[in-house]
Each structure stands twice: as C-alpha cells, then as structure tokens.
C-alpha cells in the first residue's frame, strides 16, 4: 500500500507542503468511486462538504503542527451523530430526525483538524456481525469481495482496508470493532469502557457499548484514539512506552472458548506467539474456562438493553426497522427481569475469572475470531466471530486486534487484551508486534 495511505505519513506530507489537502482528498474520492459501488462500505459521501473543509484547512497551514489530525480524511459509522444529518444507525433512509449537534467524538475530530468524508454502512442498530443490512445491502470485504467483512462496523473496516480513508470510527459492543478489523486485515481497538464519550452515539447495549478506532497501523490507531479520548499521551504511547514492553508477562489463552478455533487460525496464532515471545519478559499458557460463558451472559444483557433503547421508536415507526432486528427487539422486550439479573451474575463470573488471570499476567493473547471471514452467501453462525471477543466486552477491558497473517488469502487477527486503564501499554505492545 502507498505510504500516503497512513494517517501519519499524510500528516507529514501536509505539514511539509509536499501534498495539499485537496489533492489528497481527491485521491480518496477517486478510490471511493472505484470501489464503493461493489463494496457498499459507505452509505453517504459528502464530497462538497469535505472539499470545503479541506479548503478552509489549507488556508490554516500555520496551525498544522498543533492540529493532531490536520487534513486527515476519516469516515464515521452510521450510528454516530453529525449535526444536520439523521442518525439512522443502519435503519431505512426515512428513519430519525436530523441531529441537533455533533456527537462528542465528532466534535473532537473537527477540533483536531480531521475531515469527515463519509458515513459508513453497518449492521442495522449494530445488531449483527457480518455487515448484512436489509436497507443498505451487504457490505463486502475489501480483501475478497466474495467474503463478508465482519460487523457491525463493517463499512468502517472495509473502507480502511480498501484505502478509501486511513482512519475510521467504529463502535464495539460484543466485538464490533475488533471482528471486522480482524477479518479485513486492519487494526481495531476497543478502549477501556468509559474512556470515549458516548454522547451522540445511538445505543445498542449501554452497559457494553464503546466507540473505537479502526486504522491501517497501530500508530495511526493510537493517534485517532488520543483524539477520541482527548488524551494526547495515547498518540505517542507506542514509542514512549516501548521500553516497558520487555517487562511484560503474557498469558496465551488456549481452548475453553464458546466456539472452537479453526486449524488455519491456530497455525497463524502459534506463529504470532513465537514473535510475541521475543518481545516480552515471559509467556505462559493459560486457560479460562469461564470465557465459554461470555456469549450466554451477553445475550440477555444486549437483548434487554437494546429493547429498552429502541422499543418506543419501534412501536411508533415499525416501518423504519428490518424484520430481523424488529424480532430481536420484540424478543428482548419479553425477557423477564430474573433472566436479565441471572445474566448479570453470569457476567460477573466471566469477569471475575478474567480479573483473576490478570493477577498472573499483564496481557492476555488469543485469536480475535475463531475463523476467517466466510462467504456472504453462507456466513454461518455468528458465534464463530464473537465468541472470543465478547467476554472482554463484559468487563470493559481494552482490547486490540492486529493482523497476524492469512489463511487461504483471508486475514486473521491477533487479539491482545489489557487491564482496565492500560490502553497505552497495550498500544505499545501491539506496535512492537506490528514491527
């Protein structure tokens, strides 16, 4: 891929005058025109507004050094509010009223000098993991258009993988940043729960939802996350904290998942572990049997909270919702309080076991998904994609996926999970692995 497709290299080109913002933007627009017709990664592209943003910023070059995302084009998921645009969250075009204000993270992007170019397609309400949507179509994987890209941040990941933009915003409830990033061969991170403001983001499950960055490199992801969290130190964490990586202990998780890891993914994971071993102080195998209960715990929690968030609108405007998602919401409304509370107990069991593992290890390592992306014509069970991500959503841990090789040409991801609040350390380790 051309160097100019990373955010950091684009920034350098802008700041030294080698490239104008409008030139770079037109390249990205051309790439969108070439590929979006088949990928369906982007729902709405606002070319005129993006070029206007670029023109304003080109006249503010003296501020380029103080704006961390100066001129960098970015796409945001369709469930993140932009002033004047309906926050459809993957529903029909008619759904929702125009947002009165930008979401907090969109405001931070603008303040950092980013150019918001487009809104990315997604599974409806973020209630899915394959990028299938009855209103906007099936998002395709930029690495292989016969495959789905994962979801629910399907368009965000596919757009970055296709080189439409170097950065994208996704949201992650049960794995919806990490899954598509892994299956599309890019970097995606779920930050510590609560670090990214949720204002202006359409909910799925408020106790689990968080926004996160999708990027082509770990350093680009760190830069975007620093803006999303308003934490400048995260931008330089891969280098500032690099010396601490040597002192880490890693627990390598094997088996006891809710879905068995495929042989091809196992081979790539073992190779990744060999590389990790050279970077850290110690590494040991570990099992956490309770991880297998993650999906069972999350189902009633997500179902109940999604229904609570959307039932009133579903009743008022049933025509805005697809049949499958409407069924999920109605089913969630029927869940008894005792089932929700039992799921909370199950959640505590999973989280307690993970916390206990973190008494022994600084970081946990495992594949991001049990299999590679499957054909859009036969995606298979959702469990194979979320079984290894959802347990860590339950405890609000930071988790990042980094490409670790291909199986028959399809990307796989290494998932690294850290203790709550250790996002900077996690970025440093991921950057060291990336090389």
Q: Which residues are catalytic?
A: 77, 152, 176
Taken in order of first residue, the domains within the chain and their CATH numbers are 3-239 (3.90.1300.10), 242-294+340-434 (3.90.1300.10)
Q: Please give the Cα distance from 386 to 389 (Å, whole number).
A: 5
Tell me what pLDDT residue 201 has: 98
The residue behind tokens 């029927």 is 334
pLDDT value, residue 5: 80
Q: Which of 175, 164, 182, 234 is nearest to 205 (CA)?
A: 175
pLDDT on residue 11: 95
- Before 42, cis peptide (omega within 30)? no
Place of tokens 């061969």: 185
Contacts of 286 (CB under 8 A, 6+ apart): 251, 252, 253, 254, 357, 360, 361, 364
Residues 6+ apart with CB under 8 A from 299: 343
Distance CA 73, CA 83 (A): 18
The pLDDT value given to residue 424: 98
pTM (predicted TM-score): 0.97
Per the listing, tokens 């930029």 go with 142
- According to the model, what pLDDT value does residue 59 have? 87
Is residue 383 classed as helix, strand or coil in its secondary structure? helix
User: How many DSSP H helices and E strands does the chain contain?
Assistant: 15, 11
Structure tokens at 351: 């989280």
- The token duo for 370 is 């049990």
pLDDT at position 3 is: 35
| 435 residues of the chain, pLDDT tens digit each | 333 489 999 999 999 999 999 999 999 999 999 999 999 999 999 999 999 999 999 888 888 899 999 999 999 999 999 999 999 999 999 998 999 999 999 999 999 999 999 999 999 999 999 999 999 999 999 999 999 999 999 999 999 999 999 999 999 999 999 999 999 999 999 999 999 999 999 999 999 999 999 999 999 999 999 999 999 999 999 999 999 999 999 999 988 899 999 999 999 999 999 999 999 999 999 999 999 999 999 999 999 999 999 999 999 999 999 999 999 999 999 999 999 999 999 999 999 999 999 999 999 999 999 999 999 999 999 999 999 999 999 999 999 999 999 999 999 999 999 999 999 999 999 999 999
Q: Which uninterrupted H or E stretch holds 169?
A: strand 167-172
3 state SS of 400: strand
Query: What three-state secondary structure class fits 140?
Result: coil
What residues contact 304, with CB distance under 8 A and at least 6 apart? 332, 335, 340
C-alpha distances out from residue 25 to 12, 19, 39, 362, Å: 15, 10, 20, 41
User: How buried is 7 (Cβ within 10 angstroms: 0-12 exposed, 13-18 middle, 19+ buried)?
Assistant: buried
Angle among Cα 179, 393, 337 to the nearest 5 degrees reads 120
Q: What SS3 state is found at 360?
A: coil
């Amino acid at each position: 891929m051309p160097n100019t497709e990373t955010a950091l290299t684009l920034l350098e080109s802008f700041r030294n005058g080698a490239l104008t913002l409008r030139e770079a933007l037109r390249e990205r627009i051309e790439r969108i025109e070439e590929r979006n017709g088949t990928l369906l990664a982007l729902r709405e592209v606002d070319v005129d507004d993006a070029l206007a943003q670029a023109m304003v910023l080109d006249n503010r070059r003296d501020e380029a050094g103080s704006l961390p995302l100066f001129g960098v084009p970015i796409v945001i998921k369709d469930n993140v509010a932009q002033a004047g645009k309906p926050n459809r969250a993957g529903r029909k075009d008619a759904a929702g009223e125009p947002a009165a204000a930008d979401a907090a993270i969109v405001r931070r992007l603008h303040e950092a000098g980013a150019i918001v170019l487009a809104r990315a397609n997604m599974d409806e309400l973020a209630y899915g993991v394959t990028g299938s949507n009855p209103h906007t179509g099936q998002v395709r994987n930029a690495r292989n258009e016969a495959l789905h890209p994962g979801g629910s941040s399907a368009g965000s990941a596919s757009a970055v993988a296709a080189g439409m933009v170097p950065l994208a915003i996704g949201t992650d409830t049960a794995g919806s940043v990490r899954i598509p990033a892994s299956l599309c061969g890019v970097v995606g991170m779920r930050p510590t729960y609560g670090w990214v403001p949720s204002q202006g983001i359409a909910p799925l499950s408020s106790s689990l939802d968080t926004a996160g960055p999708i990027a082509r490199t770990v350093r680009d992801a760190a830069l975007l996350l620093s803006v999303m969290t308003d934490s400048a130190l995260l931008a330089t964490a891969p280098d500032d904290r690099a010396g601490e990586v040597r002192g880490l202990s890693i627990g390598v998780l094997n088996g006891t998942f809710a879905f068995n890891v495929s042989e091809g993914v196992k081979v790539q994971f073992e190779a990744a572990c060999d590389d990790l071993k050279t970077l850290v102080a110690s590494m040991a195998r570990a099992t956490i049997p309770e991880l297998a209960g993650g999906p069972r715990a999350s189902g009633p929690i997500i179902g109940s909270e999604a229904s609570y968030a959307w039932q009133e609108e579903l009743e008022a405007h049933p025509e805005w919702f697809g049949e499958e998602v409407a069924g999920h919401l109605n089913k969630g409304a029927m869940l008894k309080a005792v089932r929700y509370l039992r799921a909370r107990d199950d959640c505590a069991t999973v989280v307690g076991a993970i916390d206990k593992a973190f008494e022994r290890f600084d970081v946990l390592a495992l594949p991001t998904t049990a299999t590679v992306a499957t054909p859009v014509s036969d995606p298979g069970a959702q469990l194979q994609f979320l079984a290894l991500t959802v347990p860590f959503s339950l405890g609000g841990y930071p988790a990042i996926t980094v490409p670790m090789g291909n199986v028959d040409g399809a990307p796989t991801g290494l998932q690294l999970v850290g203790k709550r609040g250790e996002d900077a350390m996690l970025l440093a380790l991921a950057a060291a692995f990336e090389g």
